[in-house]
Structure 1
Amino acid sequence: MSHIVVLGAGLGGVMAYEMKEKMSSSDKLTVVNLGSVYSFVPSNPRVAAGWLNPEVGRNIVSISVTSTWTIELQMLPHA
């Protein structure tokens, strides 16, 4: 059993979510993040220009996993 800890749900958190197919059912994935929403900051100019919808953010707390592996999200309090 492996326990993978990802600090920050940014690109590393997205990568961790995408690698779920490579994890065994006994592996554990913990994502530690400051907030509950991941925003890809380099896309902000596209939102400002009207090319992207600002509502495309995803609440990372609501990610549900239907396979047998475990994802655990720990929220850090704001300073």
Structure 2
Amino acid sequence: MGQSRRILRSLRVAIGLSLALAAAGCESLEKLNPFEEHKKPLPGARQPVFPEGVPGVDYSSGPGQPSNSNAAIDLPNPPAAGSTPSR
């Protein structure tokens, strides 16, 4: 009888935790927070800042390469064939 109580208790804890996690991700519960200060939106009409897109940005091409993409990388010279590496 003790084993079945442990299993039942573990099952209840698991269900409770899963319900708590599900409720934490729910957007509709945001209204239930009594401590949240609701901000009023600023008065006035909303207008897009750049209605035709951001000036100077070409959306038809991919992102450009960084300016240092063609920089030379200084690699150490490989040891000569047949020689042992010095320490």
Q: Mark yes or no: TM-score above 0.5.
A: no
TM-score, length of structure 1 as denominator length = 0.19
- The structure having more radius of gyration, on CA atoms, is 2
Higher strand share: 1
TM-score, length of structure 2 as denominator length = 0.17
Bigger RCO (CA 8 Å, 6+ sep): 1
